[in-house]
């Protein structure tokens, strides 16, 4: 009989079970909380700056300024996730939902570059109508395409060693 292709992940001196991995709904709620925090803050800041511009005399953005503003918006949003994942292994939304993102083999928070890769892949999964999240429903470790390619897992905090 052949040996298993992969060894099971060990959490708290016991093999990981399906309940240790975060499911689709829990992850979606955490992502929604993060979206409200980041996008809400950026909308508030943008609204205040627009109000100030209107009071000062109406500042008009040309095409280049609009592109730069949009790029800044995307970079700030990505930075929120990258900083959270690479430092603590979780964002504010993940903390509220008691989740943590970790590398699949070491079970440590992903480093900076792995977090950058994961946020890019997460953005692509979202842009493609969330189709990259379908594997979460069928994968034993409940990983989406972005998790598989970035080699990460999302676990409930109480399962993290």
* Within a domain: 2: no
Nearest CA to 36 among 92, 74, 75, 83?
92
Give the model's pLDDT for residue 132. 95
Whole-number Å distance between alpha carbons of 103 and 111: 9
Whole-number Å distance between alpha carbons of 86 and 103: 10
Q: Which two tokens stand for residue 94?
A: 């993940």
In the three-class reduction of DSSP (H, G, I as helix; E, B as strand; rest coil), residue 128 is classed as coil
Tell me, what DSSP letter sits at residue 7? P
Domains: count for the chain: 1
pLDDT in tens, the chain (161 residues): 333 334 445 555 555 566 899 999 999 999 999 999 999 999 999 999 888 888 888 778 889 988 999 999 999 999 999 999 999 999 999 999 999 999 999 999 999 999 999 999 999 999 999 999 999 999 999 999 999 999 999 999 998 77
* Within a domain: 74: yes
Q: pTM to 2 decimals?
A: 0.86
Tell me, what DSSP letter sits at residue 12? T
* Within a domain: 93: yes
* Within a domain: 113: yes
* Within a domain: 145: yes
Domain that holds residue 55: 18-159
* Within a domain: 66: yes
* Within a domain: 132: yes
């Amino acid at each position: 009989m052949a040996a298993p292709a992969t060894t099971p992940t060990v959490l708290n001196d016991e093999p990981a079970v399906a309940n240790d991995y975060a499911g689709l709904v829990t992850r979606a709620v955490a992502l929604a909380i993060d979206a409200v925090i980041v996008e809400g803050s950026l909308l508030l800041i943008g609204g205040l700056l627009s109000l100030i511009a209107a009071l000062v005399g109406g500042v008009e953005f040309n095409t280049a300024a609009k592109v730069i503003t949009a790029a800044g918006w995307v970079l700030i949003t990505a930075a929120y996730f990258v900083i959270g994942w690479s430092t603590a292994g979780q964002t504010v939304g993940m903390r509220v939902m008691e989740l943590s993102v970790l590398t699949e083999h070491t079970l440590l928070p992903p480093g900076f570059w792995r977090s950058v890769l994961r946020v890019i892949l997460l953005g692509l999964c979202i842009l493609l109508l969330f189709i990259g999240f379908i594997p979460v429903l069928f994968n034993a470790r409940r990983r989406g395409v972005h998790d598989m390619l970035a080699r990460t897992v999302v676990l409930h905090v109480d399962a993290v060693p």
